[in-house]
Amino acid sequence: MNKSSIVGGYYNSYCYFYNKPFVESFEETPLLVAVLTYMGYGILTLFGYLRDFLRDWNFEKCHVAKERDEQKDFVPLYQDFENFYTRNLYMRIRDNWNRPICSVPGARMDVMERVTHDYNWTFKHTGTVLFDVINMGSYNYLGFAENSGLCANAAVEAAMKYGLGVCGTRHEIGNLDKHEELEKLVARFLGVESSMVFGMGFATNSMNIPTLAGKGCLILSDELNHASLVLGARLSGSTIRVFKHNNMQSLEKLLRDAIVHGQPRTHRPWKKILILVEGIYSMEGSIVRLPEVIALKKKYKAYLYLDEAHSIGALGPGGRGVVDYFGLDPCDVDIMMGTFTKSFGAAGGYIGGNKELIDYLRTHSHSAIYATSMSPPVAQQIITSMKCIMGEDGTTLGQERLCQLSKNTTYFRRRLQEMGFIIYGNNDSPVVPLMLYMPAKIGAFGREMLKRNIGTVVVGFPATPIIESRARFCVSAAHTKEMLDTALNAISEVGDLLQLKYSRHAWPSDEETNHFSYLDSHQD
């Protein structure tokens, strides 16, 4: 069974929210694969307990941090059981993560070779470099992670003029003219009254959500929200309720119950109801059903916090994110958040909204008051790349990159599905999860791809559900068709080797594809 969602034309009752087909696919895990995956984790767990027993009796050397004998009567600093997964499962495939690179993370990169002589507990560099590895893992959606060209030259000039560090907060002597120029540009790019920038993307969420919500407030969070959103919600002290991923029926039920019943025990109305969603979900490759979320937040008088970390610059005709993608009014989103770490090839994050909101954050946000200001070269990189996307640099380079990203995304996803892989997410999402499922195949896939000079990111539990391990590809405008074909051929070869082509869902025929094209052309 294919859990795909097709919204558009006459496909469901929400058709009037969309002006073109909204296609997302989450094919169900084959039963045999699910059973074998659980068995694999079960066997690894049994062997893990056996190895722990051997370590306790000093038959096997233990590299894990633990208390000294003289500290036995103290409260334990290290939770032994909590580290079970790290010791016995993660360590077996640890070589697939934290690989050092020694170049720009562009379409191609150079990877430093390393070896281990103690089963991944420690690594040593060999001095050899793997050159020109095709990079299918970095969030370099528009190809602005580069060390030459307009953006790099502008960043160098800013470094020569301002230096690399500001050595102060925005409230002290760390407020530069570049910061104010950037904030005005971001507000104009988003189509909002005002904006504020921060030096770290993660902290933009984790430090600002507690400023916007507190005790007596209700936060409704998508079950697949990023860790920064989850941490921010927890730090706020608000009551948190989780709705099923992209499920509007689940969200509406929580909203209705919140209005009817109010706060626990007292049944007083909530001071504030805040909905937290992402534009593109970075592990699923799915796009938020923003038109429906906005309709619900208006209906129940809630506030909407939209995290566009992966969607800003990567979606929409003008690269303005998921709001632009659906052709919506930015004013319908109360808090627009995003990062500069992906499409802009820089660092930091922003929050955009009405002037009253931004003025409040300037005086109350911990991330604004206590954190050091954004580095000037980083600010200049963002300014230059954003002007390029907006076409204000006097060229069409930004628009060309947006079109190229869209073409690359469509081509890469279609080819993988034709090969028989199970691919998650939306057809327009440059985040492409390829399902691996079994724990042994996580490490094998990453190693085999690197042997073929392809750099990939593999992900497993606890970052994903236990039976939904995956490889995550990030498509870039910097990828040429030749690069994508080379990567696709390698993926197909490794897929045959590891028997990863699980899909039982037939790829749409030419007739079906033409039908969707027909709907698209008649609804624009």
User: For residue range 76-130, what is the model confidence (pLDDT) as tens digits?
Assistant: 776 666 678 888 888 889 999 999 999 999 999 999 999 999 888 899 999 999 9
Nearest partner of 295 among 11, 14, 7, judged by Cα: 14
- Strands 272-278, 303-307: pairing kind: parallel
Summarize the confidence of residues 231-249 as an average pLDDT: 96
Question: What is d(CA 121, CA 103) in angstroms, rounded to the nearest whole number?
Answer: 26
Short-list 504, 497, 505, 448, CA closest to 471: 448
**Rounded average pLDDT over 410-418:** 96
What burial class does residue 190 get, using C-beta atoms within 10 Å of its C-beta: 0-12 exposed, 13-18 middle, 19+ buried?
A: buried
pLDDT band at 510 (very low <50, low <70, confident <90, very high): very low
pLDDT at 81: 60
Per-residue model confidence as pLDDT tens digits over 49-74: 998 888 888 888 777 767 777 777 77
CA distance 252 to 293: 9
| Closest residue by Cα to residue 436 from 108, 109, 40 | 40
- Describe the crossing of helices 376-390 and 177-190 by its angle, rounded to 10 degrees: 30
Residue 15 is predicted with a pLDDT of 53
The DSSP code for 96 is: G
User: With DSSP H G I counted as helix, E B as strand and the rest as coil, what are the percentages for the chain, rounded to 5?
Assistant: 45, 20, 40
* pLDDT of 87: 84
Element spanning 426, H or E: strand 425-426
The gap from C-alpha 410 to its chain's centroid, in whole angstroms, comes to: 19
Q: What is the pLDDT of residue 79?
A: 64
Token pair 């800013």 is found at 158
Q: Which of 307-321, 374-388, 492-506 has the lowest mean pLDDT?
A: 492-506
**436's tokens:** 């691996």
The terminus-to-terminus CA distance of the chain in angstroms comes to 31
Q: What is the pTM of this model?
A: 0.90
What pLDDT shows up at residue 59?
84
Q: What is the pLDDT of residue 380?
A: 97
Model confidence pLDDT, tens digit, residues 436-487: 999 999 999 999 999 999 999 999 888 888 889 999 999 999 999 999 999 9
Integer Cα distance of 156 and 147 in angstroms: 10
pLDDT band at residue 515, thresholds of 50, 70 and 90? very low
